[in-house]
Amino acid sequence: MAFSGKLKNNFLGKVFLSALSILSIRKTTRRNRINAVIGLGLTLLITCLMVLEWSPLENLEDKLLDYRFKIRGPQKPPDQVVIAAIDDKSIDRLGRWPWSREVLARLIERLGRAGAELIFLDIILSEEEKNDPLLAKIIGQEGNVILPLVFEFDPDSKTIPTENLSQWAFRTIQKPEGFKRYHPITARKVLIPVPALIREAMALGHINMFPDQDGTVRWEALAIEYNGFLFPSIDLITAALFLGVPPQKITLVAAETVQMGKKRKIPTDPYGRSLIHYYGPEKTFPHYAISAILDGSVPAKALEGKIVLVGATAIGIYDLRVTPFSPAMPGVEKHANVIASILENKFLSKAPLAVNLIFMISVSLLFIFLIIHLKAAGAAALTGGSLLLLLGSGYLLFVRAGLWIHIASPSLNLLFIFIAVTAYNYAAEERYARRIRSLFSSYVTERVVTELIKHPELARLGGERREVTVLFSDVRGFTSFSEKHAPEEVVAILNEYLEAMTEVIFRWEGTLDKFIGDAILAFWGAPLPQPNHAELGVRCALHMAKRLKELQEKWQAEGKPILDAGVGINTGEVLVGNIGAVGKKMDYTVIGDHVNLGSRVESLTRKFNAHILITEYTLNKIIPEIERGKIGHLSSKGIQKVIVKGKKFPVGIYDLSSLAPESACQVIECTVDEVAAFDEK
């Protein structure tokens, strides 16, 4: 943990500080910055859990290791390892287990005659029996039998000194200081064969297995400490003897490796454990029933020069283990896998914490950089591709290099980042959509609101310059009308008029800016771009005049007072956007000289007794459409060039009206030479 703390303080700290500093100076959107912070926060959290070896994360990684075995599939084991099975067939023929030592003596004798190189007994022979002298004699006669030790770890037990065991302990230990940081597995008791058998055995080694939390056996404890000595596993000692490596040539390098001579180095974790290289599920190694060996039906060639492991495979004996390949593999087959991997020099190793951290952080930072610039579909594709790449990389490193690199943490981190970023983006978009809807629902049609939500970049809520067409409409004589009628009657008829005009504006896709008492301000060209904004404004004005005429006929028939109105239209570049007090009162509106000009033109409708006046700027925008025949039965008569209040240069004013449907458009230019100046509104 000291190393982890140092790594976290130096390496991780520098990485995350660098990432945050990049974020602070990078020119990016607020949403992207928040997404990056979310990604970095999750990466920091998962990295800390990885350093602390959080159980759920470690269990997931263990399962992913199992799947690597399964995807790789079975491999052909070396021919030198076979199993003499205490199977159901042999129990049926030789009787209930445990058998007499006389049966074991006959088996060892038969294996010796067949030329077995080593005989590994995966059988606990700790209780004395009358046939022990016979079995000891045969073991001594053959001289190649290896017997098991079983260590016990009850913390309440006292260590019991056992003489004559030290000769089978590791003779050479390098870097013993490594055990000060990571103490080896330590036993309190030991179960040994009867002394008569120990004296004749070629060697002893422990057969202890240590399943992970999920019950799966993935590690081989190559060394266990007992009574001040470190004892090798029976698999290690068996493989060494078969390879001709004497015990004194087996070197334990604390917290690193076990070296067998000069050619073989078995990688270990800090506690002296080695990952088991499984060749496949049960029966990957050749099995021969002991009953068949005893009756001579197994050819001597099948056993000659081999390591013969004698162990139980019958289900009723309950010597079954969970492995990556199988939920019920006989324990003797686990030993066969370990021995075979040592013979073939095929080892697996777990990547160090530093390597896993660098891999985790590098992958995560790259993913964060990419995902914050993508939309949902792209982010999903990136996440799926990244997960496949991670899993594929982990599998290839496992198969090609025998390296177990941690992929659960980076995979979960990428998945969590994707979910968190997507959730935040969705919430932000929903919030933005509600903002857009609340902001524009009173100004534009539902279709326009929906389009703005789909493409929010079209509605820049800050100010921007854009060419638009503005329309001002004002009720004539409304002040005197209000003085002559009751307030309720004024409000009722005004509401009816404004509702009708609003419907017309929305019919022609206009943006209703505001009502100013009895006046209306609308515009085209924002928030959505409308290349034909001038045409839409002109058509809307003509439709408003027609609809007002219908209302006037209705009011006359009902005996109600009749309202009349003038409309002024102008086209030009304005400033459009949210204007007002931030957080209190904001309006999406237009401001600028061309807006003022539109208002001045509307006021001139009374001067020239016209219902609709447009400026030369608006007329110039629609003339190409008139010439192409896209606009019909329209009359635009030039009245005069005028200089309105606040302007220095004259602008042409045109009276706009509708003609009969079959009539051609008429555009008459201003013929009056003099320029009129107006100082009133």
Q: Are residues 52 and 150 in the same domain?
A: no
Judgement on whether residues 397 and 505 belong to the same structural domain of the protein:
no
**Structure confidence at residue 572 (pLDDT):** 94
Report the pLDDT value the prediction gives residue 374, as an integer from 0 to 100.
Answer: 86
Report the pLDDT averaged over residues 136-158: 88
Domain closes at, from 314, 343, 372: 343
The predicted structure's pLDDT at residue 394? 94
In a domain, 440, yes or no: no
- Minimum mean pLDDT range among 382-391, 478-487, 554-563: 478-487
Whole-angstrom Cα distance, residue 207 to residue 152? 11
Residue 58 tokens, joined: 């470690």
Q: Are residue 136 and residue 230 in the same domain, yes or no?
A: yes
- Same domain? 497 vs 544: yes
Instruction: Single out the residue in 309, 343, 377 at which a domain terminates.
Output: 343
- Is position 435 within any domain? no
Give me the helix-helix angle, 408-440 and 446-454, nearest 10°: 150
- Among the ranges given (425-434, 483-492, 508-517), the one the predictor scored with the smallest mean pLDDT: 425-434
For residues 578 and 433, the model is more confident at 578
Query: Is pLDDT at 476 greater than 70 in this prediction?
Result: yes
- Residue 238: the pLDDT is 96
Residue 241 banded pLDDT, cuts 50, 70, 90: very high
410 in any annotated domain: yes
Of 321, 343, 365, which closes a domain?
343
Please tell me whether residues 158 and 47 are part of one structural domain: no
**Alpha carbon distance 174, 641 (integer Å):** 105
Find the range with the poorest average confidence among 24-28, 509-513, 536-540, 571-575: 24-28
Q: Give the pLDDT band of residue 3 (cuts 50, 70, 90).
A: very low
Q: Are residues 634 and 557 in the same domain?
A: yes
Average pLDDT over residues 520-528: 88
- Mean pLDDT over the full length of the chain: 86
**Mean pLDDT to the nearest integer, 35-39:** 90
Count of the separate structural domains present in the chain? 3
Residue-level pLDDT at 440: 56
DSSP string, 326-367: -SSEEHHHHHHHHHHHHHTT--BEEPPHHHHHHHHHHHHHHH
Same domain, 476 and 610: yes
User: How many other C-beta atoms lie within 10 A of the C-beta of residue 436?
Assistant: 19
d(CA 272, CA 219): 10
Which range marks the domain in which residue 306 is found? 79-343
Q: How far apart are CA 516 and CA 499, in angstroms?
A: 14
Q: Are residues 332 and 248 in the same domain?
A: yes
Tell me if 568 sits within 8 A of 595, measured CB to CB: no
| Rounded alpha-carbon distances, angstroms, from residue 278 to 218, 237, 346 | 9, 19, 10
Count of residues making up the chain: 681
What lies within 8 Å, CB to CB, of 517 at 6+ separation is 478
Please say whether the beta carbons of 179 and 254 come within 8 A: yes
Calpha distance 350→86 (Å, rounded):
34
State which of 88-102, 419-433, 468-482 shows the largest mean pLDDT. 88-102
The pLDDT assigned to 1 comes to 38
Q: Is residue 542 domain-shared with residue 648, that is, in the same domain?
A: yes
pLDDT score for 103: 95
Q: Using 50, 70 and 90 to split pLDDT, how confident is the model at 482?
A: confident
- Residue 2 pLDDT grade (very low, low, confident, very high; cuts 50, 70, 90): very low
Sign of the alpha-carbon dihedral angle for 54, 55, 56, 60: positive
> Do 222 and 204 reside in the same domain of the chain?
yes
The more confident residue out of 196 and 434 is 196
The larger pLDDT score, comparing residue 205 to residue 490, is at: 205
Residues 83-122: tens digit of each pLDDT: 999 999 999 999 999 999 999 999 999 999 999 999 999 9
- Are 381 and 270 in a shared domain? no
The structure tokens listed for 361 are 């952080």
Asked whether the predicted pLDDT for residue 356 surpasses 70, the reply is yes
Same domain? For 60 and 8 the reply is: yes
634's CB contacts (< 8 A; 6+ apart) are 538, 542, 626, 656, 657, 658, 659, 665, 666
186 has a pLDDT exceeding 70: yes
The least confident of 280-289, 423-432, 508-517 is 423-432
The pTM (predicted TM-score) of the whole model is: 0.68
Residue 655: closest CA among 643, 671, 644: 671
pLDDT band at 612 (very low <50, low <70, confident <90, very high): very high
**Whether pLDDT at 240 is above 50:** yes
Structure token pair of residue 351 = 């990547």
* 540: number of Cβ within 10 Å: 25
b/e for 474-485, b at 16 or more Cβ within 10 A? bbeebeebbeee
* Inside any domain, residue 7: yes
Rounded Cα distance between 277 and 563, Å, is 95
* 3-state secondary structure (DSSP) of residue 518: coil
Please report the pLDDT score of residue 459 as a whole number.
54
- Whether residue 670 contacts residue 622, with contact meaning beta carbons closer than 8 Å, is answered with no
pLDDT recorded at residue 461: 54
Beta partners for 32? none
